[in-house]
Amino acid sequence: MMQKGRAPFFKDRSVFYVTFPIREQAPKGDWLFELDPVYFVAILDFVFDEAEEMRKFRRDIALRDQDGELFFDKLHFKFLQMPLFTKQEHELDTRFDKWLYFLKNLEDFEHIPAILDEPIFQKAFHTAELANLNHDQYEAYEKNLLDHWTIKATMVAIENESKAKGREEGLREGRVEGRAEGHAEGHAKGRLEGEIAVLRRQLIRRFDDLPDWAETRLVEANESQLAIWSEHILDAVSLTALFEV
């Protein structure tokens, strides 16, 4: 769980919370009381252990006897007191460090720092952005996502049509210039024209207008560049930003 504000009797609450997953393990009918392990992980935006000797960033708690020997290995508490985590970007040595830095500074990120530019953190950042949207913003996001899927499906259909068109043009040109060369050129030209047409419609729907300079960039682009723009169109804040990708 994540706890932002200081809560009274937080340790008591933690013990209370773990009773639920423990009790839920009891099946109907016969049972021998064998439990699966339960881990309670609390990420705290405050320090609940005020005594100096207890001011540890990470507290791992388990049931131990009077000699400190582990008594029960299926119940564990882990408390992370985030104000006590003070590492900076250049000090992040492990994946655990990176996750802690990500969680502590997420609200301040305008973009993902280079040291966290990995698929797992990109996904987490995107998930956090979605969770922070209000109702209207989330509806707009879902609509844009649906439009994106629709356009992608249309692109596939047009690409298939373009392939057929390319084959036809290639065969026709092949009668004059040579079957192999004509087929290849016609196929590539038809496919590229189809991808440009789909992306053009997608850009107009996303940004309402397509200036001449953008049209020129489209016409002069190759397949690789068109694919990159298509992948980033939902994330781009402007046409200029998109074409800089």
**In 29-134, which residue ranges form alpha helices assigned H by DSSP?**
95-105, 119-131
Residues 242 and 245: their CA atoms lie apart, in Å, by 6
DSSP SS3 for 60: strand
DSSP state of 66: T
For 145-165, write each residue's pLDDT tens digit: 565 556 566 667 666 766 666
Please give the structure tokens belonging to residue 76: 């564990």
For 160-201, write each residue's pLDDT tens digit: 766 666 666 655 655 555 444 444 455 456 667 777 877 787
Residues 44 and 57: their CA atoms lie apart, in Å, by 10
What angle do helix axes 223-232 and 179-207 make, rounded to 10 degrees? 20
- The answer to whether 44 and 81 are in contact (CB under 8 A) is yes
Residues 181 and 237: their CA atoms lie apart, in Å, by 41
Per-domain boundaries in the chain: 1-84, 88-125, 135-243
In degrees, rounded to 5, the angle at the alpha carbon of residue 80 between the alpha carbons of residues 78 and 84 is 150
Residues 181 and 169: their CA atoms lie apart, in Å, by 11
Residues 75 and 40: their CA atoms lie apart, in Å, by 8
For 8-20, write each residue's pLDDT tens digit: 788 888 999 999 9
Residues 190 and 181: their CA atoms lie apart, in Å, by 14
What angle do helix axes 119-131 and 95-105 make, rounded to 10 degrees? 20
For 35-79, write each residue's pLDDT tens digit: 999 999 998 888 877 776 567 889 899 999 999 999 999 999 999
